[in-house]
Structure formats: structure tokens, C-alpha cells
Amino acid sequence: MATDTKIAAPVLISTNPATGETVGTYSCTSVDEVHEAVDIARRAQPAWAALGVQKRVAIIRRFRKLLNQQAGEVAELITREAGKPIPEAMGAEILVVQDAAEFVARHAAEILQPQPVPHSNPAMKTKRGTLHHEPHGVIGIISPWNYPFSIPSTETLAALVLGNAVVLKPSELTPACALKLQSLLHEAGVPKEIMQVVLGEGPVGAALIDSKIDKIIFTGSVATGRRVSVAAAQKLLPCVLELGGKDPFIVFDDADLDVASSGAVWGAFMNAGQTCLSVERCYVQRSVFEKFVNMCVKKAQALKVGDGFDRDTDVGPMIDTRQLRIVESQVADALDKGAKVLTGGERLTQLGPNFYAPTVLTNVTPDMKLMREETFGPLLPVIPFDTDEQAISMANESEFGLAASVWTNSRSRGEAVAGKIEAGTVMVNDAISGFGICEAPHGGFKASGIGRTHGLLGMQEMVRVRYVDVDRVVMKKPWWYGYKGMYREQIHGFADMMFGHSPAKRIKGALNSTKILTRPKL
Ligand code: NAD
């Protein structure tokens, strides 16, 4: 039987949430050791950057090949440690990482390529600007347990290929998955000093932020994200925050209800509802509300809840009892306030302490906790609406803004509504799956976060930029004082040019006086 809590400091005991069996016992990293790990990474990073992008790309591709060879074994480890069914471990974790590895390998050279910065200020005519991209140095990554392999992997790969060292602090609930990532990277050729994992609970993450890292990439809850943001602000440490969501799912009357209800059921219950992009609030146009709800109930009841290793399992356990209790308390609050549970609404104790039935609720109102706070569990609350405007306003009535989905057979209606939803990703006729497109930037509006991971924007987060300005004509600039002389005329000439006026006499005078046309160029 699974235990109530998975943590026993100063060691981490990782347990299978379905069975309670021990996956592994690991020593926690001390605060001093965290600082030491970062110092080691700092010393090693210049050589990793100097290795050159092509050699790093080759290592990342070797990692991808190793992952491909060991995919079955890694999927089993993910299921053992996080509980999800094997097809979800393969589809939403390993496949995503394989795709991301190829993406970052393909784009690394282009990101690091210096880029000319053309400009049009006539007064700066002799200057040439170039943007240089370089690794930050040591990137700290703090990750959650719900995608224990894909989240730290995609972020780590992007950081490494661009020449950074990485110190990763995974969730205390899923250390084994992070250690597997580390061993695959080392086997592929990433030096041990360049990719290190530190283990422990929150204080180990806090120590990482306090160390000499150059940037922090944090994925987790809004509450912890705020703490991370405050700690980073004290040091003016740049950070990316990938936080929670309360994603709305809007079904219009012209949608294919069979497809949309399957999308809602999968979007709400995959990974036992423990996905940042889970469907958490379902809004359905009143004329099709009843039909849609009935379809969802039927489909939810057909799902098999069980151990992720069981071939018949659709929905695995929740990560632990603490998380399950949050779901129970939200359902209790909703029932107190008048909600109706149409199916589910209970623990499946016969399976173990961490299983909760896929649950569909109606009669829900905006004041209920399950409509305001992130649930992170298998709940699907469904609410009717009348007009498009009403659906948009209900969807936007949240402090979160991670993702949303809109269901309609009209592409123009879908895109028009998508344009009005306050979220970092809006999917039309799909849910969650946008995360599987490694080209698509991932991140939220409002309390759902700052910055992006994935895609070229995610890669850009892993480099800092230096603008190098070279003046090809060595001369004294006319604006280096002497304001009461010729410059007074000249600056008006430059302004005339900026506004497209034909070069007046005074601009000719300006150019001649500085003799920039006749000076030798560098
Ligand atoms: P969490 O915030 O409890 O923990 C996340 C990580 O932060 C863990 O590694 C934890 O040990 C560490 N941590 C805790 N306190 C810390 C501190 N003071 N300083 C530094 N690190 C600290 O989140 P969780 O329960 O592991 O994950 C679930 C949450 O993550 C959900 O809210 C979910 O929406 C969010 N999430 C977001 C995304 C996204 O991409 N936006 C993806 C997955 C999960």
C-alpha cells in the first residue's frame, strides 16, 4: 500500500504511487553541496562553450539515440515513479523529449550565429551593429513531478546545446527520473561537471537560487513560483517561471460533440488530471449542454482506473495522498455550495490510497474553489453559457492564463474567439496536445508565468545577447560638445533626414564638416 507521504528527509524515498513500493532511496544534497555543484559547473562551463556548437549538437543527438534505445526502460521508470499509464509515459514524455532533442540540435547553430542589426539613423551612418548570442553560464533548473522526465529534459537540452552548464533540482517526489536523464546525458558525452542533479525538497531549490547560477528556469505551482520570483529579484537573477493553470475549454453549439466530449474527458483526466494544461473549466453552449454532459459522463464511466503498468488502465493514481486530499476538499466545497456530481466524486480505496474516480460535475458556480484554484486532479466541472461574448468573459475570469481550448466547426469563429482569450496557448479543436509540438513556445499569461520554454523563444531564454557596435570611421563625433557652434545646425539636418525631408543644405554641411565621406573605412 502507498504511504501517505513520499518524503523522509534527509534521504528521499521515491515510491510508486500505485503500489507504495520503493523506487529508490537517495541522499539529499546539502546546502554546501549545492553551492559546490554550481562552483564546479562554473569552472567547467567555459570549456563546454568553447567545444563549439557542432560537437555539442553531436552529443545531444547521441543522447537522443540512447533514449531511443532505452525508451521502454525509461517509460517503465516514469510509470513506476509517477504512476501514469505506459502510453502516457511514451507519448507525453519520451516522444516529446526525442522531438525536442532534434529541434534544439537543428536550431542551436542558428541561435548562436551573430546577426547584423541594420539601422536607419543617419547620424550613425558609419556604424555597423552586430548581435552576438552566448550562453548565460550556469543555468539552474527546478522542476515538478507531473512530467518528471519531459519537463527537466526539454529545458536541460536547450540549455546544454547552447553552451550552458546545468544544475537540475527535480521534484523530491521523482528523483529517479531526473537521475536517469543525467545518466543518459553523461553516457552521451556531456561532462559530469556540466550536468549535475541536486536532490531534496524546497530548501535545496532555495539554495540553488541562492548559489552563483546565472539564470533560473522554474516550473511548478504559483505559490512556489512567487517565492522563487522574490528570491531571484533580491539577486536580480533572471528567471523563467512556468506556473499553474486553470484552463478553460469552450464548446460552441456547432462543434462536433462526440469529438469535443472525448477531448474534454481526455484533457481533464489524462495523467489523472495532473497536467498544467489540464481541462479545468468546461463551458458549453446551453442548447447542446445536456447532450454534451451526458456524453462526458458516459465516457468518464467507461474509463478504467488502475496501475499504470496494467495494459487496460486509462487513468493512473494521483501522485500522493496530499494531492488527492486537495481534490477531495475542492469537491466537498463544491457540494456544500450546491454542485452536483454526475459520476465519480470519490476515492477508489479498493485500488489503494491514491486513486480518485474521474469526476464530472454540474451546477458549479464561479465562487467554488474548483473554479478558482488549480485542481490538479481528475475533475471536469461543466457550466452552460449563452453567447460567444459570455463564454469569452467566463474563460477570462481567472488569475491564471496558461492555455485554453475552443471547439467549433467554424475555423473563423474558433480563431476569432482564440484571439480574445487571455492565455499563452489557445488550441482550436484540441486540448493539451500543443505541448507536444516542440516548435511551439510554452508559457502563460497572468499568474501562469513569465517567459517561455520550448520553441525558438524557449531557446532564446538560454542565451544572453551582446550588441557590438563598430564605428568604421575613426573620428570625433559632431555631438561631442560644441553645442553652440555648427552642431546646432547639423542636428536639425539629421532630424530632417529622419523625417524623410530632402537633405537640406544644413545636412550637407553636417556631413562635410565631419568629413565622414572621405575618411578611410575600417
Ligand atoms: P511545487 O511548486 O510544489 O514544486 C516545484 C519544484 O519547486 C519542486 O522541485 C520543489 O521541490 C521546488 N521548491 C519548493 N519550494 C521551493 C523554494 N522555496 N525554492 C525553490 N524551489 C522550491 O510544484 P509541484 O507540486 O512539484 O508541481 C505541480 C505544479 O507545477 C502545478 O501547479 C502545475 O500546474 C505546475 N506545472 C506547470 C507547468 C508549466 O509548464 N506551466 C508544467 C508542469 C507543472
Q: What are the DSSP calls for 289-324, one per residue?
A: HHHHHHHHHHHHHTPPB--TTSTT-SB---S-HHHH
* pTM of the predicted structure, to 2 decimals: 0.94
Indicate if the pLDDT at residue 421 is higher than 90. Answer: yes
Q: What is the pLDDT of residues 150-188, one digit of tens each?
A: 999 999 999 999 999 999 999 999 999 999 999 999 999
Q: Are 235 and 60 in contact (CB under 8 A)?
A: no
Q: What is the pLDDT of residues 42-99, one digit of tens each?
A: 999 999 999 999 999 999 999 999 999 999 999 999 999 999 999 999 999 999 999 9
User: Residue 335 to residues 362, 368, 370, 379: CA-CA distances in angstroms?
Assistant: 10, 9, 11, 13
* C-alpha 242 to ligand 1 mean position (Å): 9
Indicate if the pLDDT at residue 105 is higher than 70. Answer: yes
Nearest alpha carbon, ligand 1 atom 12: 202
* C-alpha 267 to ligand 1 mean position (Å): 20
Indicate if the pLDDT at residue 215 is higher than 60. Answer: yes
Nearest alpha carbon, ligand 1 atom 32: 221
- Please confirm, yes or no, whether 276 is among the known catalytic residues: yes
Domain with CATH 3.40.309.10 in the chain: 247-436
Atom of ligand 1 lying closest to residue 444 CA: 41
Cβ of 244 less than 6 Å from ligand 1: yes
Kindly state the cell numbers that stand for 519.
Answer: 575618411
Indicate if the pLDDT at residue 4 is higher than 50. Answer: no
Indicate if the pLDDT at residue 6 is higher than 60. Answer: no
3 state DSSP class of 246: coil
Beta bridge pairs of residue 283? 250, 383
Mean pLDDT of 202-230: 98
Rounded to the nearest 5°, which phi and psi values hold at 197?
-115, 130
Indicate if the pLDDT at residue 354 is higher than 70. Answer: yes
- Please confirm, yes or no, whether 177 is among the known catalytic residues: no
Mean pLDDT of 283-301: 98
What CATH number does the domain located at 247-436 have?
A: 3.40.309.10
Give, in words, the CATH class of 34-244+456-466: alpha beta
Cβ of 435 less than 6 Å from ligand 1: no
**Confidence at residue 487, expressed as pLDDT on a 0 to 100 scale:** 81
Indicate if the pLDDT at residue 108 is higher than 80. Answer: yes
Name the pLDDT band for 498 (thresholds 50, 70, 90): confident
Name the pLDDT band for 479 (thresholds 50, 70, 90): confident
Cβ of 280 less than 6 Å from ligand 1: no
Domain with CATH 3.40.605.10 in the chain: 34-244+456-466
**Confidence at residue 5, expressed as pLDDT on a 0 to 100 scale:** 44
* C-alpha 144 to ligand 1 mean position (Å): 5
Which residues are within 8 A (CB) of 388 and not within 5 positions of it... i.e. 6 or more apart?
252, 413, 417
